[in-house]
Chains A and B, each alone.
Chain A
Amino acid sequence: MKFIDNARVIRNHKIRQDIHSMWLESPLICQNSSPGQFVHLRVNNSFSPLLRRPLSIGRVHGNELELVWRIVGKGTEILAEAKEGESVDLLGPLGKPYSISEHLETAILVAGGLGLPPLTYLYEKLIAAGVKTQLLLGVLNENSIPLSDKDPLFGSILITSEEGELFRRGLVTEPVIDSLQNLENNGGIGKTSLYSCGPWGLIKALKKIVPHMKLLSAEVSLEQQMGCGIGICQGCAVPTEDDNDPFQLVCKDGPVFPLNEVRIPDAS
Chain B
Amino acid sequence: MHPELKTKLGSLHTRNPILTASGCYGYGEEYSDVADAVHLGGIVTKSISPVRWYGNSPPRLAETGTGLINSIGLANVGADSFKTEIAPRLKSVNTKIIVSIAGKTIDDYELVVQKLEDANNIDGYELNISCPNVKEGGMAFSQNPSITEKLVKRVRKLTKRWIAAKLTPNVTKISEGALAAEAGGADAVSLINTLVGMAVDYRSRSPKIATITGGYSGPPVKPIALAKVWEVYNAVKIPIIGIGGITTWQDVLEFMIVGASAVQIGTALFTDPQLPEKINKRLIQYLEEEEIGAICEIIGTLRTDRPYNLGVPG
Contact = CB atoms under 8 A, between A and B. Distances in A.
Judge: A and B partners, yes or no. yes
Interface of A: 1-4, 42, 47-52, 91, 224-239, 245-247, 265
Given A3-B34, A227-B68, A229-B270, 9 more contacts: A47-B268, A50-B68, A51-B63, A228-B24, A230-B31, A231-B26, A232-B30, A232-B31, A247-B54
Interface in B256-280: 267-274
B273 to A, nearest CB: 7
Contacts of B267: 50
A225 B58 CA distance: 10
Interface of B: 23-26, 30-31, 33-34, 46, 54-55, 57-63, 66-68, 70, 72, 75, 218-219, 247, 267-274
29 contacts: A2-B33, A2-B34, A3-B33, A3-B34, A4-B274, A42-B272, A47-B218, A47-B268, A50-B63, A50-B219, A51-B63, A51-B271, A52-B271, A225-B61, A227-B68, A227-B270, A228-B270, A231-B26, A232-B30, A232-B46, A232-B270, A233-B23, A233-B70, A233-B270, A234-B72, A236-B60, A237-B60, A239-B57, A247-B54
Contacts of B247: 47
A264 B240 CA distance: 45
B72 A233 contact: yes
Contact of A237 (B55, B271, B274): B55
Contacts of A49: 63, 66
Contact of A224 (B54, B55, B59, B75): B59
Given A47-B219, A91-B34, A231-B30, A52 B58 contact: no
A91 B269 CA distance: 12
Contacts of A246: 54
Contacts of A225: 59-63
A224 B58 CA distance: 9
A227 B60 CA distance: 10
Contacts of A247: 54-55, 58, 75
Contacts of A48: 66, 219
Given A49-B63, A233-B23, A238 B58 contact: yes
Contacts of A226: 61
Q: Which of A48, A226, A234, A245 has the most CB of B within 10 A?
A: A234
Nearest to B72: A234
Contacts of A42: 271-272
A47 B59 contact: no
Given A50-B67, A51-B63, A52-B271, A233 B58 contact: no
A50 B218 contact: yes
A140 to B, nearest CB: 18
Contacts of B67: 50
B60 A235 contact: yes
Contacts of A4: 34, 273-274
Contacts of B75: 234, 237, 247
Q: Which of B30, B31, B58, B62 has the most CB of A within 10 A?
A: B58
